[in-house]
Amino acid sequence: MSELRNVTAALLAGGLGTRLRTVLPHRPKALAQVRGRPFLACLLDQLAAAGVRHAVLCTGHLGEQVQAEVGNAYGPLRLAYSQESAPLGTAGALRLALPLLNSDSALVMNGDSFCDVDLNAFWRWHRERGAKASLVLAKVADTSRYGRVNVSADGAVLRFHEKGRESGPGWINAGIYLIARSLLETIPAQRAVSLERDMFPAWVGHGLYGYQTEGRFLDIGTPEAYAMAEQFFA
């Protein structure tokens, strides 16, 4: 039986998708078509294959389209929805969804990126370290578009570098996290808060770890990157 069976997943699918408006004017990013299916289906497939059975979709702009298309179940996954009435950022969306997150730690995924990582191995690694929060880190040829993450020998996060500061190969935040409920409760409620800009930097030195994987990574946040999705999932 999967160790993730009793862990609630949260998919952050509430972004406005402003950079994709030229190619996706009337649909949320999570429903961007890739090989005839919504991008969100790739993430739900990954969760289902890892043994996750309950997921909360954190939606916002055009969120009713997501619920109408995906429904309340996807294969073995039971789905619930938490929809923002105004943009709350990645952390604010999780804080809003907290009543629906029924496990001691939540498995969180960005709704506009994919990393080919063994989620059960990530869970075991997180538990072995007694981490409060862990990020999957992907290795890319050029970190300038994403920002860079430095970790110690045992994986503790040491520092985040902003986008555009450093180029060349390195480790980036791949948009998959395990976060203890006790940390989620510290996120300010009912206002816009970013995991990446506000919460993660504040958690450095307080049980925040980075799990390095060589798995392939794709972020569909720009028209150029979205154009690569068909080939990526071929």
CB-based contact 62:16 (threshold 8 Å): no
Among the options 29, 132, 139, 163, which is catalytic? 163
| CB contact burial 144-180 (16+ within 10 A = b; e otherwise) | bebbbbebeeebbbeebbeeeeeeeebbbbbbbbbbb
For 97-216, list the strands marked E by DSSP. Answer: 105-110, 113-115, 133-140, 148-151, 157-161, 170-180, 208-213
Cα 184 to Cα 90: distance, rounded to the nearest angstrom: 11
Cα 30 to Cα 32: distance, rounded to the nearest angstrom: 6
Q: Of 52, 50, 47, whose CA–CA distance to 7 is shortest?
A: 52
Q: Verify whether residue 163 is a known catalytic residue.
A: yes
Helix boundaries (H) for 23-102: 39-49, 63-70, 89-97
Cα 101 to Cα 13: distance, rounded to the nearest angstrom: 16
Cα 170 to Cα 178: distance, rounded to the nearest angstrom: 21
**At CA 93, angle to CA 112 and CA 114, rounded to 5?**
20
Q: What are 51's two structure tokens?
A: 């043994």
Active site residues: 163
